[in-house]
Amino acid sequence: QVQLVESGGGLVQPGGSLRLSCAASGSMFSISAMGWYRQAPGKQRDLVAVIMRGGSTNYADSVKGRFTISRDNAKNTVYLQMNSLKPEDTAVYYCNVVPPGINYWGQGTQVTVSS
Q: Per-residue pLDDT tens for 70-112?
A: 999 888 899 999 999 999 999 999 999 999 988 889 999 999 9
- The mean predicted confidence, pLDDT, of the chain is 94
- Quick one: which of 29, 22, 18, 17 has its CA closest to 7? 22
Tell me how many degrees the CA angle 15-19-21 measures, rounded to the nearest 5.
155
pLDDT tens-digit map of 60-72: 999 999 999 999 9
Q: What is the pLDDT of residue 74?
A: 86
What angle (nearest 5°) sits at the alpha carbon of residue 11, between those of residues 9 and 15?
100
Rounded Cα distance, 107 and 23, in Å = 12
Using the 8-state DSSP alphabet, how is residue 43 labeled? Answer: S
d(CA 32, CA 54): 10
